[in-house]
Chain A
Amino acid sequence: MSAGPTEGVARTATYVYGVVRASETPRIDAAGVGRQAPVRTVTQGELTAIVSDVDAGFVEAGREDLERHMAILEQAALSATVVPMRFGTVMPDDGAVAEELLGVRAADLDELLSGLDGRVELSLSGTYEERIFGEVVAEEPEVAALRERVRGHDENATYYDRIRLGELVANAMAAKRRRDTDDVLAKLRPLADDVRVGDVAHERSVLSASFLVHRDRLPEFDRAAEEVAAQNRTRIRFRYAGPLPPYDFVGGGKAGPWG
């Protein structure tokens, strides 16, 4: 950004996207985050880091950077098993990447890569359709009765009844969510090597889950996901993304394995 003329030379740091096995080093034709320098690689021993130059003062990123980070890792994942780094990982220079990441952490990275070998992440999330409320009314006599009492009456006069009604609906939805989540996981978990179920993102969410799946099983997993969606077609809208780099399966969260 501000070219901060440090004696006329822009200082450079190295942004790290992810790590692959050197034998699988992908060719990535893309512009990186920040100053959009070409993506390149740093190899040390058996490991290769996917990197690009950024300004040394690159500390605040925007939406476009997030999307570039994601797109570059996706390109790498097309042909290689990738350990994705947390967004925003910047090291002082290539030497630090080679020594402090690929060198010092070689054994850990090797273990992670072995565990992920040939596997990709698939993300599945579901949201209830509006008609789920019809299901709730049909299944819960108390909801149906209270609904009759409240409908068509003055909003202010029925304020507390409406809160009660909404609470009953929320409880019924929570029970539904548990059943539907269990049902989806029962069908898909057997085809995955690992599963992460995320928090429910909003009030009509059913689930948000990531599956670690071997490439060989992708067609099978695909069919199973399609079946789940077909079975629920009138009530749950499913979104399915992937194959993705295994963001969810490299020990992210607040403290990484080395955090």
Chain B
Amino acid sequence: MTTQEGYLQRSPHPSSLYDVLDLILDKGLVIDLYVRVSLVGIELLTIDARIVIASVDTYLRFAEAVNRLDLNETGGKDLPEFIEDLGQGGGRGKTKGALDGAKESIKDVFSGDDDDEEKAPARRRSRSRAKDDEE
């Protein structure tokens, strides 16, 4: 349930799983010895999702991003398309680079996929390439 009012994308609560994890995992009051339930593997993936920005992989992606810019048009999107994107929240559909790759690797855990972390970076790369062809 996401609404658009002015320029903020609003939702009563975090709209994507990534945001849910970001918001409530490792938060809240702890009484020692009494936190016994665990989301096995999830914490690990959350850390994995926090991409190290100073990496060759990121540099190459950034270089690609500035190279594909059409400076006359200054990239960017028109508002209607922007709003349409927002409506998709954290869902599938149009994917955008690294964050979505990370989200999906988290989703896979929840849906019980036998995915391992090793696959996530490869998927991110292929996604940023796919994005290229899209425009």
Contacts and interface: CB of A to CB of B under 8 A. Distances in A.
Contact of B28 (A61, A67, A129, A247): A247
Interface in B1-54: 5-15, 17-32, 34-40, 49-51, 53-54
B44 to A, nearest CB: 14
Contacts of B39: 60-62, 66, 87-88
B30 A258 contact: yes
B122 interface: no
Given A244-B13, A247-B24, A59 B38 contact: yes
A193 interface: no
A170 interface: yes
A143 interface: yes
Nearest to B110: A63
A255 B29 CA distance: 9
A111 B58 CA distance: 45
Given A60-B37, A147-B66, A167-B59, A201 B29 contact: no
Contacts of B77: 129-131
Given A165-B63, A203-B61, A242-B12, A105 B31 contact: yes
A146 B129 CA distance: 21
A230 B6 CA distance: 7
A169 B40 contact: no
B120 interface: no
Contact of A237 (B6, B40, B82, B97): B82
Contacts of B74: 131, 134
A217 B56 CA distance: 45
B22 A201 contact: yes
A123 B14 contact: yes
Query: Which of A127, A169, A241, A250 is the most central at the interface, judged by chain B CB atoms within 10 Å of its CB?
Result: A241
A165 B110 contact: no
Contacts of B26: 86, 252-254
A63 B27 CA distance: 16
A197 interface: no
Given A162-B63, A163-B63, A241-B14, A203 B38 contact: no
12 contacts: A62-B110, A74-B12, A88-B38, A134-B69, A166-B60, A200-B50, A203-B58, A226-B5, A241-B19, A251-B29, A252-B29, A255-B30
